[in-house]
A and B are shown apart, each in its own frame.
Chain A
Amino acid sequence: MLEVLEALLFLAFDYAPALVFASLGAVLSERAGVVNVGVEGMMRAGAFAAAVGALVVPTPLGVVLGMLAGACLGAVHAYLCIRWRSEQVVSGMAINLVALAAGTFLLEALFAPTGTPPIAQLERWSLPLLKEVPIVRAASGHSALTYLALALPLAFHLALWRTAFGLRVRAAGEKPAAAETLGVSVSGVRYACVVGAGLLAGLGGATLSTSTLDRFEHHMPAGLGFMAVAAMVFGRWTPLGAFAASAFFSLGNALRIGVASSAPAVLQVVPQGFLLALPYALTLLVLGLQRRRGAAPAALGVPYDPETR
């Protein structure tokens, strides 16, 4: 029983970081008032660039390339939404469609239809003290990104709620006109946050192709970007909430994989489809039960036009 639990936790520790990074990115962008449904596309760009980069340069540098690729798409999103006040959902979905098709096109043109050749996976750290203790030892033996994913949410929480920059970000998302009156450059803050969101989504994608797996596969990230959006909503647009939701979804997914491989009889009673639908159904349920208005930033999705102040 203990071993099963340990294996489950280990799987979740491997699976969660991509979701954590991407949902933190979504939180950052939406806290500043820019809707980000392009996470899926930015993750795909990150996963692809990281895997292709790692074929040539050392894998950690490949991860950086993946982050930059995500940031590039983030910059496109920011430029369209902030400079040209485009419909933010449209821009996000366009980025998804472009990344989906461009990834397939480049993969086919440069490698094979199913995926890139394997790369050197990120080194797995074995933690000297932890690995002796049962259960807790599931936390040992992951790549550096897993430990980063454990630390980053807290850092984001402190940055958003305890620093001047965090206050500016939240002001840009709640009442941009008031922020501008106090001398905050709303578009500057929004640019920083949306590009940062791309950076994080790219990191999430890179995690998939360099840490969770050892290559880019043609269907990556297979909806994980949308699940990151769900985690952000489930976590009420807060870093710690998004982290908790990501961890919860990942644990659920690990449980599903574990059940499917070790106890397939259970799936006769509870079909796999129910388990797959659960994170999304729960998110809808929580949204449906909450008070009206909810936790979303007040100016979310509203392009800021200084002239209509």
Chain B
Amino acid sequence: MRERLIRGALPSVLSVAAALLLCFAAIAVVAASAKVALDAYLAMVWGGLGDLPRFLDGAGVAVLARPWGEAATKAGLLALTGLSVAVAFKAGLFNIGAQGQMILGAIAAAFLGAQLELPALVHPLLCISGAAVAGGLYGLLPAALKLRRGVHEVISTIMLNWIAVSLVENWLVVGPLRARASGDLSISGTDEIAATAQLPRLLGETSRLHAGFLVAVAAAVLLHLWLSRTRLGFETRAVGLAPEAARASGIPVHGRIYQAMALSGALAGMAGALLVLGTEHKFPATIGAPYGFDGIAIALIGQNHPLGVLATALLFGALRAGGTRMQLFGVHKSFPELIQGLALLFVAGRMVWDHLLALSKRKRPAEEAPRA
């Protein structure tokens, strides 16, 4: 078990480490000083994990709680889009459409949050469910196109992403669902959601940590249990690994694929709901950040394992929350995204790692197995 864990995680760990090193060198070269790079990295770490040095100097608990809130907010979004991509992968589909499914989820949550009047606990739950349904239905489209018409899901989800962006951001948000202007103020985005629909904050007002983070953690654990402990989960993995063998043993392959894509879309939709109910409190003029594409990176660096995805999301959530602190050293706040992209590139070359690891093993004569 332990051996398997190490073997599975090692390429990812090495990839992230390589990306961190390469980016360190990039700052050092651009700023012509290793000191700046070191300071920027430290700022990123303390900005993501909580400012321990200042806390120990007696700065109060807020220097810890605020960074945790930022990191957990980002990690929640990354975990859900990462799980979305991962569950589709398990069924053998490459869902590039998490971005579009997330946008539909976000607009559904913003609509339900602003239009309905419900008691505090029920309201956010209903909004999240609505977002999951919207994202899930949108996720069924590429599955149907693939199974009925043979359209590859990579192509169809690219198209569906842009259709979602165009229809939501360039029509709904500036048209039918646009915020009603009050006074002379012109507001962008949709109406603010009701106070009852906002996700409650967990650490008081100093930190933006909200209940959505718990939703993401629960989703990861439940998905892990579902995949590893239930019949449906097993069948889904079988479909992804060997569809013909699965069909031969009586598993309804099409059904499992539809179900996995609905689940994938629903998870991405929930990410949209978290963004709206937890942070933005409305659908902003544009989602801006490509969280859906980040999900691809998170899923693959996490080796498509729900718990691996959660761990990766926590790491990059912290790095990206800390990234804003790097600006003090003249490094753009999107820098952690570069680390993430490079890490994905290195994971994509996972065969290279396997090759290098095999080489280093072969050097030790004791382990040299007789070769056939």
Contact = CB atoms under 8 A, between A and B. Distances in A.
Interface of A: 35, 37, 76, 80, 84-87, 89-91, 93-102, 104-106, 108-110, 113, 223, 226-227, 229-230, 233, 271-274, 276-277, 280-281, 283-284, 287-290, 292-294, 296
B166 A287 contact: no
24 contacts: A37-B96, A80-B345, A86-B351, A90-B348, A91-B345, A94-B344, A97-B341, A97-B344, A98-B345, A101-B338, A101-B341, A102-B341, A105-B334, A226-B158, A271-B171, A273-B170, A273-B175, A277-B162, A277-B163, A277-B167, A280-B160, A284-B151, A287-B156, A292-B150
A272 B171 contact: yes
Contact of A100 (B175, B341, B347): B341
A104 B348 contact: no
Interface stretch (B205-213, B255-263, B293-301): B293-301
Interface string B134-173: 0000000000010001111011101111110111111110
Contacts of B280: none
Contacts of B334: 101, 104-105
B337 A101 contact: yes
A272 B170 contact: yes
Nearest to A35: B154
A101 B340 CA distance: 9
Contact of B151 (A113, A281, A288): A288
B348 A86 contact: yes
Contacts of B341: 94, 96-102
Nearest to A273: B171
Interface of B: 26, 30-31, 94, 96, 145, 149-152, 154-156, 158-163, 165-172, 174-175, 290, 293-294, 296-297, 300, 330-332, 334-335, 337-338, 340-342, 344-345, 347-352, 355
Contacts of A87: 348
6 closest Cβ contacts across the A-B interface? A273-B171, A97-B341, A273-B170, A101-B338, A276-B166, A277-B166
Contact of A80 (B30, B168, B348): B348
A29 to B, nearest CB: 14
Nearest to B161: A226
A70 to B, nearest CB: 16
Nearest to B172: A273
Contacts of A289: 149
B126 to A, nearest CB: 27
A105 B167 contact: no
Secondary structure class of chain A's binding surface, majority of residues:
helix
A229 B158 contact: yes
B348 A91 contact: yes
Contacts of B348: 80, 86-87, 90-91, 94
A292 B137 CA distance: 23
B340 A283 contact: no
Given A93-B293, A94-B344, A105-B334, A287 B349 contact: no
Nearest to B338: A101
B96 A89 contact: yes
Given A93-B296, A274-B171, 7 more contacts: A86-B348, A86-B350, A93-B344, A99-B341, A271-B175, A272-B174, A284-B163
Contacts of A101: 334-335, 337-338, 340-341
Contacts of A86: 348-351
A61 B295 CA distance: 38
Contacts of B330: 109
Contacts of B163: 277, 280-281, 284
Contact of A276 (B26, B170, B296): B170
B333 to A, nearest CB: 9
